[in-house]
Amino acid sequence: MTQETSLLAFPPDESGGEAWLRYPRLCAADASALQALCTVNACPGAEAALSELDRALAGWGLPPRTDGDGLSLSLDPALPEEGFCISRPSPQQVRLAGGSPRGLLYGMFHLLRCVNCGLPLEGASAPAVPLRMINHWDNLVCDPVHGSIERVKGGDTIFDWTDLARPNPRYEEYARLLASVGLNATCLNNVNAEPEILSTDMIRGLAALASVFRPWGLRIFISVNFATPVLLGELDTADPLDARVQDWWRNKADEIYAAIPDFGGFVVKADSEGKPGPGTYGRNHVEGSACLARALAPHGGTLFWRTFVYGRNLADKLPDPKARADRANHATHEFMGLDGQFEENVILQIKCSAIDFQIWEPVHALFGKLSNTRMCVEFALTKEYSGLDVHMNWEGPYVSEILRSPLVAGRMDAVTAVANLNNSRNGFGHLLHGASLYTHGRLAWRPDADPRAVLDEYTVQMFGPEAGPAVSEMMADSYDTVASYTMPMGMTYISEFLHHFEPDPWANHDGAGITADGIGVDRTAATGSGYIGLYPPELAGRFEDPATCPLRCLLYFHHLPWTHSLPGGETLIQSLYDSYCGGVETVRGYRRQWRALHGQIDLERWAHVCEKLALKERHAERWRDLVCRFLEEISGIKDAQGRFDAPSVHNRVRSGYRQAFEDYRARVERERGVMRRKPI
C-alpha cells in the first residue's frame, strides 16, 4: 500500500479540541427522532439549549431547525431545579422539560448524548449533589501572555490573567464543555492563591468572564489567600478576630457581588504547606473560616475550606510519636473535634484520601468523623502522582469506589476535582485524558452510575460506534495498570519529591515504609500509627488484618516482611517484581490495541495517542527497572526469573525528557519575592 492510499484510509483530521461535543455525521440513528429535532417549539429561557441543538444539527448534516412540534421544550416547576425529563409521546415527537433553564440545558445535552450513543430518548434525571465543581491550579504571576498551571504539563492556562475581559472563544467552549457533563461551578485559580486575585481590576475581569459563563449555568469561585489584607498592604494583620479584618473581608465581598451577583464564593487553603491561616494568630479553623464565611453569607456565597493540613504541632492531640509522625492522621485529628461548629455556608473540602492523591489510597477517615458539618470530596484529574499528561490513565473505578464508600455516599454537599484543562490543541495535553473530566462530571451528577458505562459514552462520542468500544476496552483498566508499574498495593511516595513524576526510590522511599526487613507503613491500631482506628469499626476491622485488607491498599496499612505470603501463595517481594513487569507488558498491549485502530480514527488524533503510548511504555520501563533494582538492593532478594540481571538503559539520573518541576520552583521563588509580580 502506498503512503498516499494509506493516508486516504483515515477520516478527516481533528485536533480533539471539541472533545466529546463533536456531533459527527450519524451512520445509524433513529430517523424519526432526528426528524423531530428539526422542528422545535421552545419556551423562554431555552436559548442556551437551542444554541447547542443548532450545533448538533449542523454537525449531523441535518437542516436548520424550524418552528414546529417535533421537539417541545418547556419548564416544569414540579421538577427539581436542575432536573429534566425526556419523553416520546409518539415516534415523531420528543418532549424535554426542565425544572429551570439550567435543567433544560442539562436535558438538551443528555438528549444529544443519547442520539450520539444510540440510547433511548426518554427518562428523567436530577443531580444527586448540589455543587459539582472543578478547581483550577492556574497561576496569576506568569509570562505576558499565558500563565502556568501547577502539576499540569499538557499546556498553560486558557485564561488571560492580564485581561480577562478580552474576548476569547475558548471561554464559551470551556463553559459548554463543563455544562455538558453537568458541572455548575468552577474555581479559576490556584489554591496557592496570589493576593492580586482580589484586586479591583481583577474583579472587573472576573465579572466579564462570569457573563460568558452565566448562560451555561456555570458559577465562578476563586481561591483566596487568607493573608490578602496584609499582602495587599491594606492592613497590618489578618487575625480573623480583629474587627478591621472582618470589615475588610465584608467590604471585599460587597465589591465582588456588586460586579458579579451570582458569584459562588471562595476556596481557601490555610495553615497548609507554609500558607498563612488562622493558626498564624493562634486561632482555630472555625474562627478563621467564620471571618470569611460571614462576609459571603449575606450574598448567598459559599466558603470551601480545605482540610489538607499536616505537619503542624499536634502534640496535644497526638501524644504518641508514631501517630504524630504519620501525616495520614493529621487532618482527621485537626478537624474532627470541630464538627458542628462551622458556619452554615462553610463546606469542608476534604481530599478523597489522607496522604496526597496517591494511587488506590483508601477513602479519607475524616469523612466518617463529621456528622454535623457540610463536606465536599476532592479528587485530582491532574494525575499528579500517576503520569501527568504522559500516561493514559482513566481513574473512573477509583472515583466510583470513593463516591460509593459508606463514609461518602449520600453525604456530600459538593464534589470537586483539580482540573486538567489547559490551552493545548486538544484541551488536555493527552487526548484521552478528557475521559477524566467527562467521568468526573457524570459521576458528580449521579455517583451511583456505572463508571464503565460512562466511559463507553465518552469513547463512542469521541471516536464513533465502530472504534469507541475498542478504545473503551483499552482504557477500562488503565488506572490499575499505572498502579501496577508505579506504586502497587498501596505503596506511596517513591516518586521524586518535587515533581512527583520520575521514580526516585533511593531518595524518597521513607513514605512507602521501605526498610531492609520489609515494606509498607504500619497504620494499624495495634502496633502502628493508629490511623486505622479512626475508621468506623466495620472498616477498621477489615483494614486491621492483612488477611482481609484489600490487596490494592495492603502496603498503605501494613508493614510486612519481604517474604510475607500473599493469598495466591507467592511472596510479597516476588509479587511486586511480577506487578512491575506485568504492568509494562500491559502497556505494550495497549500500543498493539491502538495500532489496530489504524484507519478507523483520523490521523492527527491516532498519531497523537500513538506517540503518548510510546512515551508511556518507555516511562513504565523506567519505573520497572529503577524500582525493582532498588527493591533487590534493599531486600537482598533477587527476582526469581532474573529479569533485572542484565544492564538497563535506565539509570538513577532523571530522564531529562520531562522536567516537570518548573512550576513548583517558580511558585517557591514567587513566595520568596524573587519573581516580579506582573502589573494588574
> Catalytic pick from 160, 361, 384, 639?
384
The answer to whether the CB of 255 falls within 8 A of the CB of 296 is no
> Catalytic pick from 138, 356, 395, 544?
356
The residue among 43, 68, 41, 65 whose CA lies nearest residue 52 is 65
Task: Give the whole-angstrom CA distance, residue 404 versus residue 451.
Answer: 11
The DSSP secondary structure of 77-133, one letter per residue, reads TTS-TT-EEEEEEETTEEEEEESSHHHHHHHHHHHHHHHHHT--S-EEE--SSSEEE
Q: Is 273 a catalytic residue?
A: yes
Identify residue 395 by its one-letter amino acid code: E
> Catalytic pick from 143, 254, 273, 320?
273
Q: Is 501 exposed, middle or buried (0-12, 13-18, 19+ CB in 10 A)?
A: buried
Task: Give the whole-angstrom CA distance, residue 600 versus residue 596.
Answer: 9
Residue 661's CB is within 10 A of a number of other CB atoms, namely: 17
Q: Is 241 helix (H, G, I), strand (E, B) or coil?
A: coil
Residue 372 contacts by C-beta under 8 Å, 6 or more apart in sequence?
Answer: 339, 340
Rounded to a whole number of angstroms, the CA Rg of the chain reads 26
Category of 490 on φ-ψ map: left (φ > 0), alpha (ψ -120 to 50) or beta: left
Q: Is 661 helix (H, G, I), strand (E, B) or coil?
A: coil
The residue among 217, 213, 221 whose CA lies nearest residue 184 is 217
Q: Is 384 a catalytic residue?
A: yes
Q: Is 538 a catalytic residue?
A: no
Within 412-513, strands assigned E span 414-418
Q: Is 322 helix (H, G, I), strand (E, B) or coil?
A: helix
Question: H or E element: which one contains 252?
Answer: helix 243-259
In the chain, the largest separation of any two C-alpha atoms, in whole Å, equals: 78
Q: Which residues are catalytic?
A: 273, 356, 384
